């Protein structure tokens, strides 16, 4: 079964307006469409650059724009927050949900993450649901159980149809921003495990068609090896996505992958 291949850039809290614009200009100038066939490229800038990126990319159907977060309520007195419907109103395509930095620094728990997924789906945004274990959990052998629990808490109750709209990103916390990438064996084992949990929750067809991305110190130098694994359908890239050349090299590595 063929799955969406996704190369997503998560800029986190980086780039001025001018830097964001320059990135997109260089990306569009340099991109080689032959090497990106079938790859869904997603750019995830800070909120304030979203509308500008949507406008700059309006003619490029293969490049989507995602937000890094949305609020879990539909609207109301939540100073400083942005709702899923507001994102949709400026034609944003997708939203990251449950990133470990949101869980760690902003106290997001499984219940909030689950509500955000529903808000995103209600507004026809593609949720990129992030999960992953800490170093302590991996070292104590609790990594598979931790991720099982995260997936069950966030996704139970969704329909198979809603699952078609959703992408999962496995991001081991110990690999994020550390330069310490999971090995292909470690990532592959977890991706297969996630797929088995999805099969139990939603059935084989849904599990086989859900894209599972790997995130955590993905770079141009290790992308091809990771993407060669049959269960790794793409990457969610932080630091290495800030440079258009480096990010394009990662996109091309995914472009080489054929199912």
**Active site residues per annotation:** 99, 171
> Rounded to an integer, what distance in angstroms lies between the CA atom of residue 150 and that of residue 226?
23
From candidates 39, 237, 248, 253, binder to ligand 13P by CB under 6 A: 237
CB of 104 to ligand 13P, least distance (A): 11
Question: Taking CB under 6 A as the rule, does residue 244 contact ligand 13P?
Answer: no
* Shortest separation between residue 199's beta carbon and ligand 13P, angstroms: 25
Residues 12-51 as x/- pattern, contact with ligand 13P by CB under 6 A: ----------------------------------------
Q: Which residue has the tokens 């599990």?
A: 207
**Residue 243 exposed, middle or buried by CB count within 10 Å (0-12, 13-18, 19+):** middle
Under rule CB under 6 A, residue 234 binds ligand 13P: no
Q: Is residue 49 within 8 Å of residue 69, measured between CB atoms?
A: no
> Is residue 215 helix, strand or coil?
strand
Q: Please, which residue, 188 or 216, has the CB nearer to ligand 13P?
A: 216
Q: Which region among 23-31, 74-82, 206-214, 234-242 touches ligand 13P (by CB under 6 A)?
A: 234-242
User: From residue 162, how far is each of 69, 123, 127, 130 by CA, in Å?
Assistant: 19, 12, 10, 16
Residues in 148-177 that interact with ligand 13P by CB under 6 A: 171, 176-177
CB 20 within 8 A of CB 51: no
Q: Which of 239, 244, 251, 253 binds ligand 13P (CB under 6 A)?
A: 239
Q: At what angle do helices 244-255 and 17-30 cross, to 10 degrees?
A: 40
The nearer residue to ligand 13P, 45 or 216, going by C-beta atoms, is 216
Q: Which of the stretches 136-144, 198-206, 210-218, 248-256 binds ligand 13P when contact is defined by CB under 6 A?
A: 210-218
Which helix (H) or strand (E) segment holds residue 24: the answer is helix 17-30
Q: Give CA–CA dist 175/198, Å, rounded.
A: 23
Question: Which stretches of the chain bind ligand 13P, using CB under 6 A?
Answer: 10, 99, 171, 176-177, 215-218, 236-240
């Amino acid at each position: 079964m063929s799955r969406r291949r996704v190369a997503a850039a998560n800029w986190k809290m980086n780039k001025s307006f001018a830097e964001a614009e320059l990135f997109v200009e260089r990306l569009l100038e340099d991109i080689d469409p032959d090497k990106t066939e079938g790859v869904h490229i997603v750019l995830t800038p800070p909120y304030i650059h979203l509308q500008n990126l949507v406008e700059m990319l309006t003619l490029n159907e293969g490049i989507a724009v995602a937000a890094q977060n949305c609020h879990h309520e539909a609207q109301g007195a939540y100073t400083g927050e942005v709702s899923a419907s507001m994102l949709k109103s400026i034609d944003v395509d997708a939203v990251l949900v449950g990133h470990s930095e949101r869980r760690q620094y902003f106290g997001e728990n499984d219940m909030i993450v689950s509500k955000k997924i529903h808000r995103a789906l209600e507004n026809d945004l593609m949720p990129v649901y992030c999960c992953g274990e800490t170093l302590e959990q991996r070292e104590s052998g609790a990594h598979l159980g931790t991720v099982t629990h995260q997936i069950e808490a966030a996704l139970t109750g969704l329909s198979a149809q809603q699952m078609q709209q959703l992408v999962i990103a496995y991001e081991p916390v110990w690999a994020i921003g550390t330069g310490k990438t999971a090995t292909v064996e470690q990532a592959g084992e977890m991706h297969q495990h996630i797929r088995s949990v999805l099969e139990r929750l939603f059935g084989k067809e849904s599990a086989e068609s859900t894209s599972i991305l790997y995130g955590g110190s993905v770079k141009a130098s290790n992308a091809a090896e990771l993407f060669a694994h049959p269960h790794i359908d793409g990457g969610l890239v932080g630091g290495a996505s800030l440079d258009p050349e480096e990010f394009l090299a990662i996109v091309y590595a995914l472009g080489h992958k054929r199912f």
